[in-house]
Amino acid sequence: MRLPGHDLSRFPVRRRAAHPVTTPDWDLDDFRAAVTDLQDEIAERVAVEDLRRAETVLVERLHEPQFAAVLSATPDGLAESVQRLLLELHNYRPNERSSAHNLPALVRIYLLSRIESAWWRDTPPYVTNADLLAATDLVDLDPLRRAGRLNFRYRRQATTLPARAVRAAERLCWPNRAPGPRGCVSPGPGPRWSR
């Protein structure tokens, strides 16, 4: 589905590389700073319900070199990444349970997620459990955590309904005590956790 009224011709279509790219040619500090600037611009210039204006700002800005370098490196390429973001905006519905509490936050989350997409673009996915169990390029984090060699915190996913209920109660009573569920950032002051 294409959204009408947006000229995306200046966003080149990505051609898949014949071999994996070993060194990214993008500056993540510049990209993150540009994402923050764009988020602030949308927050300042776009009314909450003005989806059309938000789309216009994105189309005007996303061809800039800081964005183009990362978005071009994703499997979708620059043009398709922009189109997907426009579709995300078009389909966006505010939700208390979402980290994307408004349009600027949605833009930020989507654009920052493209870093991971670009970084892992040439890595084949694990299709089956056997693929995952046979992978030699994965690292078990538990021994590294016990040895104090990790610069981040995590905890294993709760697998039973009672365990998930306990975790939900913990998040309500002590919001910054532990990392939140996947995709969430802890609210308020103190350490911020994201996955």
CA dist 173 to 23, 44, 82, 162, Å? 44, 34, 39, 17
Residue 186 tokens, joined? 């802890």
- The rounded distance, in Å, linking the Cα atoms of 63 and 83 is 12
Q: Which residue has the higher pLDDT, 24 or 32?
A: 32
Q: What is the dihedral of CA 6, 11, 17, 23, to 10 degrees?
A: -120
Q: Looking at the predicted structure, is the pLDDT value of residue 105 above 70? A: yes
Residue 145's Cβ-count burial label (10 Å; 0-12, 13-18, 19+) is middle
Helix (H) or strand (E) holding 64: none
pLDDT tens digits for range 119-137? 888 888 888 988 888 888 8
Confidence of residue 22 (pLDDT cuts 50, 70, 90): very low
pLDDT tens digits for range 74-91? 998 999 999 999 999 888
pLDDT tens digits for range 107-121? 999 999 999 898 888
pLDDT tens digits for range 59-70? 999 999 999 999
Q: Looking at the predicted structure, is the pLDDT value of residue 2 above 70? A: no
Residue 2 tokens, joined? 């294409």
Is the separation of the CB atoms in 35 and 111 below 8 Å?
A: yes
Q: Mean pLDDT over all residues of the chain?
A: 79
pLDDT of residue 112: 94
Entry pTM = 0.62
pLDDT of residue 14: 39
pLDDT of residue 194: 34
C-alpha closest to that of 43 among 88, 105, 109: 105
- Identity of the highest mean pLDDT range in 8-12, 89-93, 185-189: 89-93
